[in-house]
Each structure stands twice: as C-alpha cells, then as structure tokens.
Structure 1
Amino acid sequence: MEKSEHKFSLQKEILELAWPSITEQMLIMMVGMVSTIFVGHISTAAIAAVGMINTLVFFFQSIFAGLSTGCTVIVARLIGEEDEDNARLAVMQALVMCIIIFIAFTVFGYIFAVPIIKTFFGTVAKDVFELGLMYYKIILLGMPFVIIDIVLGGALRGAGDTRTPMYITATINLISFILNSLTVFGVNIGGHQFIPAYGVKGSAMSVTIARVIGGFIQLYVLYFGKRKINLSVHDKIRLDLPMMFRIVRVGVPASLEQLIMQGGFLILQVIVSTMGTASIAVYQIGMNANSLAFMPIFGFQLAATSLVGRSLGARKIMLAETYGKLSNKIAVRVITVIGIIMFIFARQLAALYSTDPEVIRMGAVVIRIFAAIEPMLAIMNVLSGVLRAAGDLMYIVITAFVGLWLFRIAIGYVLGKTMGMGIYGIWIGICFDFVVRSFMYTYRFKQGKWKYLMV
C-alpha cells in the first residue's frame, strides 16, 4: 500500500510540474499557429513564406536553446544541492552570455539578410521569396527578446518554477492573437477602413511586438519577482569564468544537438522548397501538427529534466530513475490519446490552415501518417530529457545526427525526390527518425550509466 501511495505521490509531482509547461507549450505553439492560420487564409504563397522563414529562425535559435539547457541543468543541480547563491550566479552568467550573443546575432542577421535567404531558399517562386524576406527582416528585430525569454525561462524551470514561464507565454500569446486579428486583414467599421490590412507584414509586426513585451516581462520577473534565483538591480554584473564554463560544458553539446537537428530541419525545408508551393504549404501543416502533438510531451520532458536533475544533485539515484520511468509512461499514454484524435480529425485540422482543397487533402494524409507514430515521439523526447539532466549530452548529439541525417533526410530524399513520392516520402523519413531515436534512447536509459555522470 505504501509503495502504491509513494508512486501516486511521484506521479502527482510530475503532473504538477508538467502541466504549466504543457500549457506554456500550447501557448508557444499557438503564437506560431495563429500566425500560420491567419497568413494561410491570405494565400498559399504566404503560408509557404512564413513557414520557411520560421524554419530558418529555429535553426538560428539552436545555440540559445543549448544555453537554456545548460542553465536549466546547472540550476536544477545547484537547487538540488541547496546552493541558491551559486544558482543565482549561474543565472547572471547565462544572462551576460545571452546579451553578448544576441547583439552579434541581430547585427549579422540583418546585414546579410538577402544572401542568407537566397542561400537557403533561392529556388522558391519570386512572390514567396519576397514575402519571406519581408517577414524575416521584421521578426529579426524581436529575436533578442526571444533569446532572453528562452534562457531565463530555462533557469526558472531548472529551479522548479514552471508556472511563471507559462504566465509570460500566455501574455505573449494573447497580445500576438489580438494584434494578428487586427492587422492581418485590418478592421472595417461601417464601411470605413479603421485599421489597414497589412497581410504578412501585419503578422510579422504582431509576433515581434508580442515577443518584445515578453522579453521585458521576463527581465522584470528576474529582478523584481520573488523567486529562488532572483537577481538584484544592486548586484554588480561580473564575469565568473568557472561558472560560465560549467554552463557552456552542458550547453555546447546541447547547442550542437540543436544545430544538428535544426540544420536537418532546414535542409529538409530546402528539399521541400524544390517540390513547389503546395508541397511547402503541406509540409508546414504537417510540422504544425507535429507541434500540436509535442505540446504535452514538452511538458513531461521538462518535468523529467528538472526532477531528475534535482534528484541527481541530491544524490538520490533511484528516485531519479523512478522519475524518468514514470514521466515516460504518463507521456506515452497521453500522446496515444492525442494521436487517435488527430487521426480521426486530420482533415478538419488541415482545413484550419488552408482553403485550397488539394492542400487540405494532402495535409490530412500527412497528419494521419504522423498520428500513427505518436508514442515514439513521447519516448524519444522524455528519455532525452532524462539524459540531458544527467549530462549525457554527447550521446544525444550522436542520436540526433543518426536519426535526422541518416534516416529523416536520407530516406526522405530518396523516397520524396528519387522515387517521386513527394511530400509523403519526406514524411515517411520523419517517421523513421522518430522510431530509431526512441529505440536508441530506451537502450541508453536501461543501461543506467547516465545515473553516475558528473556535470
């Protein structure tokens, strides 16, 4: 009876930590989803342009995602060791690195905007290219604040605070939705155009304004909120190279993993861009469906990373393993239900993004292919979260390369381009990636070596 109660208590703790992250991920996804739905009803070219630029931006964000992971893992370990002073020091060092990187990133990205877009998407139709370039230049202005949000949000999650990032994301999402609804198609009152219709430009401006506000809120919470890792405006900004190195030691492999993954996504996007505007639009619908399914999984992944990291920091090895197993089991059950729902309502889901009958038909097929493989997505992400908490990052880098480049891209290219299956071949390659990586992470988890690594 006591064992059963203990298990129930742990499951409850996982769910309590996961649900704010799940809600946050839903809201993050909705920021992009709202923009995609709005521009999808402008034209197929519009949804293709926005989709390909978002893929490029996600690639650029990979280094900051790694810095966020480094901050999450180190803060979780230090909180587990009850060393709150060094946890705050870690946050300050992450913020300093964040500021240096985003200044360089923004300047570089703006100066070389045209060459960058031409390098990756030079083969797309002229209207898609022009819309994409305009969208890119506007959202780039909000990227520094996205970086701040990513890194500081990671620190809060490492400290076990998943609710604050959720509230901030809810604010960003609400602002983005309101501004999108006002600016994309404009506002006409009594036959008078109260607000002009800005189309794709309106969507870009809406997302950027929302992200800027979110970044400032995150900084306010860091300095004026009441959290374990709060900084003070009276604190002197100082460099602590040993702490920076500790964060980077975790963050660099995580960034490398993200570079491999986002680089793979970008190459796949380039391959898809040679298949025509309709295929690009269908691919974006499929990736949005992927995001929809990933929402709950992301929450359980973060819960696993935080709980396993704190348990290992407190030297509670068996508890860390139990958290990993339970998080994985709950995530698989949840994602299976979502997969069934997505399979049944695939056509209705695809219709949210486009009014083109052919795009809707193809999009529904792609969503159903993905729905069938959903449990593997849960295993892949939750167990990788456990391994990240343990510092087993080079293994994750290797699996990312194997899954994305040897299976997703290679098989997708052969089936999609060489064998003429088009976008369906690309999606089959994606499914192979999920299966391979889920098996690799399961094997590594069962080996148990991750429990004794030092970070």
Structure 2
Amino acid sequence: MEKDIQTIEGRGAKPLFDRAYLFRLILPLVAEQFLAMTIGACDTLMVSSIGEAGVSGVSLVDQFSQLMIQLFAAFATGGAVVSSQYLGHGSPDNARMAAKQLFNVAGFIAVALVVICLPLRKPILGLLYGKSEADVMKNALDYFVWILVSFPFLAIYNSSAALFRSMGNSKISLKVSMVMNFINISGNAVFIYGAGIGVNGAGLATLLSRAVAACVMLFLLGNRNNEIYIDKFWKVEVNFPMIRRILTVGIPSGIENSVFHIGKILVQSFMSGFGTVAIAANAISNTIASFSNIPGSSIGLGCVTIIGRCIGAGEKGQAKSYGKKLMQVAYVAMFCTSMAIFILAPVLVRAFNLSDESARLASGVIRTCMCANVLLWPMSFTMPNILRAAGDAKFTMVVSNISMWAFRVLFSFLISSFIIARNPGSTHLALYGVWFGMYLDWIFRGSLFFARFCRGKWLDKKVI
C-alpha cells in the first residue's frame, strides 16, 4: 500500500497510515458490525416465538426506528468528519470543541423527537401502516413506546462511537457494543421467555441496553488521555461556527439518510397490503441479507477517519489512493460474504419461525439480493462515505434523493403492481418487485458516485 501511495503522489510522500493501523481500525469495526447483526438476528428470532404478527409489528417499527438511527448517524458523521480533519490538521483543541458541539446537536434532536413522537405514536403508525392487520398494529404500537424513549441514549452512543473512530480507536465501540448487545439479548430472554411480555419485552431490553451503553461511553470520553475528550458534560457550551461546520456535512447526510428511509417506509407502507406472509418474509430477508453488507459498512465507517485525516493534512493524493484500496478490499470481502449467504439461504431462513410459504419467499429474495450485492453495494454505500469524509456531502445527498424516488419508490411500485396484475392470487410475490426496484436504485447511485470519485471534484471541497 505504501508503494501505491508514493506512486500516485509522484513525490514519495510519507504515508499517513500503515497497513497495521488500517487493520487496527477496520477489523474491530467488522467485529462490531457482525456482533450487532448477530444480536439483531437473535432479537428477531426471539420475537418470532410470539408469532408472525410479532415479527411483522416489530419490523414495521424498525423501519421508522432506522430512519431516526440514520438521522443520528448523519450528525455523528458530520462531527466525525470535522474532528478527523482537525486531528489531521494538528488542531486537537478544535477537534474537542467539535465533539462538544456534536453532543449539543444530537442531544437536542433526540429529545425533540421523543417529545413530538411519543404522544403522536398512534397517528404516525396509523398513517404509515394503516393497512396492516389489527394484531400486527397492536404489537407495533407496544414496541414503539420503548424504542422512542431509547432515542436520546442511542444518539449519545452513536456520537461517542464516531468520535472514538475519529481517534482511530474502534476497539472502544466494539467493547461497549459487546456489553450493550449482551444486555439486549439477556433482557430478551428474561422479558420475552421469562416474563412473557412479548414485544414489550423486546423493547424494554433495547432501552436498557442503549442506556447502559450511553453511560459507559460518556464515562470513557471523560478520559483526558484521549486525543478527544469531553469534560463537564452538563455544562452547555455553544459554538455556532463549529456547529455550522458539523452541519455542513451533517445536514446533507441527514437529509440523504432521512429521505432514503422515508422512501423505504413508503415502500413498506404499500407493501403492508401484500399480507403477513410478505411482511414476515421481508423482515427476515432484511435481517439475513444485512450480514453480507458488514465488510462494506465497516470499511465505510473507517473511510471517515482515514480520508478525513488525509484531507485535514492536505494529502489529497493519499486520500484518493486510500479510497481505491479500501474499495478493493470492500469488494473482495463482500463477494465472500454474499456467496456464503447465497448458498446457505434456505438453511438460514429455517432458523426463524416462519411458515413454509414465507420461508420459500424469503430464500428467493435473499438469493437475488446476494447477486446484486456483489456488484453494486460497495459502490452505492461504501463509496459515498469517502466523498463525505472530504466534505462532498451535498453531492451524495442530491444523487441519493433522486435515485431513491425515481427508482426505489417509483419502480418498486410499478414492478410490484405488474407482478400483482399477473398473479392476482399470489400478492405476496409482489415482494420481488420491491427488491428489484432497490437494485435499480443501486445501479444509478453507484454509477454516479464512481464517476465523481474518478473525476476528483470531491477533493476540492473544504470543511475546516
């Protein structure tokens, strides 16, 4: 890798990161993502003991929850980009100030969401998923309360994890994630199987795990031996110029992520008319398919630190070289995971408490997804993190929004409607239309992100 960087730089510049540093940063991220996905699958598996109505209800809320999670992640990315660039620039005091402002922004948004959404939870779910069956909606409403209350803790955890990644320390978030997920899975066992309180148990376990993780992260960030530390959390210090820098990345990323998941929710909304078989199959398909994305997702998180520091240090050539290498690794790793899941799909699906019809549908959907993942996912979702880390967040926002509405939403509806028209007695088969619309979305956005990277315009953006 060092030789490649020197060749691209054309002047023998000293690499900012060696291979060992990259492994120390990325491997814990892979482990953390795998752990989170595994626990998520176990969570779904435990909820499935309640029945398909329980799985469906939780999956409907999870779509809304993912919207909020991505919103928090967007602002965390903004804080991480600014902090990484300041560290690369050799300005740790400014990096610490950026970290404090990140908590101000994330905390305010999280509390506002709870205050607004908690009393309006029934109209919100009714508006989005009014076509759902009565028992599915009841489970969704019960689960939604606990998830809403957990949002402030989730915002703190995401912001803290992003800051530790900015320092190149991804082991911390891995260790805390292990504690968080242990509490979650143990709580599920106690509340679902022991106390028998169903989806309420799953929600309560999630709330407790996020609260503990947030408190641990705050304690660790108070250590003055860190490059970035925060003391006196209770003292509000507002620095509007720094907030503006964070929002330069955070707002476009937040709009991008929010619109992306609003589109997914709309798709989920009209998909709720496909029946419980399709909803349950979709939930399990998403759970299993997400495992194949772990390498690309982990490398994307690492890109924020690596590319951000390169840009902060003024090493644009190294930023592009590291971007190429990280993308190559993402493709190789995702090929391995996708092919493994393609082969094992029928076996993996049977681990969940699905009907035979739902299991067959989920297996077919997963296999189409694995074929698309190998070619399209890294360019569509790992690549934009490279662009964002340099401050090119507006471009990724515009491309993602156009792609979402033109392809994922519109074509999902058109293809699904066509399938229903051809198979009126098997409406659940329309689920394939939703996923094929998603693949068209990946093709469009991935092509534009690749062109942007090759042209190098992203290297001319300025954040600090």
TM-score, normalised relative to structure 2: 0.92
Residue 191 of structure 1 is matched in structure 2 by none
Residue 268 of structure 1 is matched in structure 2 by 267
The alignment status of 1:229 with 2:228, answered yes or no, reads yes
The alignment status of 1:399 with 2:364, answered yes or no, reads no
Residue 186 of structure 2 is matched in structure 1 by 178
The alignment status of 1:204 with 2:203, answered yes or no, reads yes
> What secondary structure sits across from 2:354 in the alignment?
coil
Residue 37 of structure 1 is matched in structure 2 by 45
CA distance in 1, matches of 2:257, 2:455: 24
Could you tell me the percent identity over the aligned residues? Answer: 26
Inter-CA distance 90–153: structure 2 relative to 1 (3 Å threshold): same
Q: Does the 8 A contact of 1:78 with 1:87 survive in 2?
A: yes
**AA partner of residue 363 (structure 1):** A
Residue 327 of structure 1 is matched in structure 2 by 326
CA distance in 1, matches of 2:57, 2:116: 21
CA distance in 1, matches of 2:147, 2:408: 29
The alignment status of 1:96 with 2:104, answered yes or no, reads yes
1:135-171 deviation digits (Å, cap 9, x = unpaired)? 0012222111001111221122122221111111111
**AA partner of residue 78 (structure 1):** Y
Residue 303 of structure 2 is matched in structure 1 by 304
CA distance in 2, matches of 1:2, 1:282: 46
> What secondary structure sits across from 1:422 in the alignment?
helix
CA distance in 1, matches of 2:440, 2:5: 39
The alignment status of 1:453 with 2:464, answered yes or no, reads no
**AA partner of residue 373 (structure 1):** A
Q: Does the 8 A contact of 1:31 with 1:207 survive in 2?
A: no
1:103-130 deviation digits (Å, cap 9, x = unpaired)? 2111111111111111111110000000
CA distance in 1, matches of 2:187, 2:383: 38
C-alpha deviation, 1:5, in angstroms: 10
Q: Does the 8 A contact of 1:76 with 1:160 survive in 2?
A: no
1:366-395 deviation digits (Å, cap 9, x = unpaired)? 110001011211222221111011111111
CA distance in 2, matches of 1:302, 1:430: 22
Inter-CA distance 303–181: structure 2 relative to 1 (3 Å threshold): same
Q: Does the 8 A contact of 1:35 with 1:203 survive in 2?
A: yes
CA distance in 1, matches of 2:432, 2:233: 57
CA distance in 2, matches of 1:439, 1:234: 43
> What secondary structure sits across from 1:373 in the alignment?
helix
The alignment status of 1:22 with 2:30, answered yes or no, reads yes
User: Which segment drifts farther, 393-402 or 334-343?
Assistant: 393-402
CA distance in 1, matches of 2:119, 2:126: 14
**AA partner of residue 29 (structure 2):** S
Q: Does the 8 A contact of 1:412 with 1:430 survive in 2?
A: yes
C-alpha deviation, 1:30, in angstroms: 3.0
> What secondary structure sits across from 1:71 in the alignment?
helix
Residue 290 of structure 2 is matched in structure 1 by 291
CA distance in 1, matches of 2:224, 2:63: 34
> What secondary structure sits across from 2:179 in the alignment?
helix
Residue 417 of structure 1 is matched in structure 2 by 417
Residue 3 of structure 1 is matched in structure 2 by 3
CA distance in 2, matches of 1:172, 1:413: 38
C-alpha deviation, 1:225, in angstroms: 6.5
1:158-212 deviation digits (Å, cap 9, x = unpaired)? 22221111111111111111111222122xxxxxxxxx32222211111111111
1:28-78 deviation digits (Å, cap 9, x = unpaired)? 223432221111232111111001101011113333222111101000100
User: Which segment drifts farther, 219-228 or 311-320?
Assistant: 219-228
CA distance in 1, matches of 2:334, 2:6: 24
C-alpha deviation, 1:301, in angstroms: 0.6
CA distance in 2, matches of 1:52, 1:220: 34
Q: Does the 8 A contact of 2:280 with 2:354 survive in 1?
A: no
> What secondary structure sits across from 1:239 in the alignment?
coil
RMSD between superposed Cα atoms in Å = 2.0
Aligned counterparts, 1:128-143, within 5 A: 128-143=136-151
Q: Does the 8 A contact of 2:4 with 2:321 survive in 1?
A: no
Q: Does the 8 A contact of 1:380 with 1:437 survive in 2?
A: yes
The alignment status of 1:354 with 2:336, answered yes or no, reads no
Residue 122 of structure 1 is matched in structure 2 by 130
Residue 166 of structure 1 is matched in structure 2 by 174
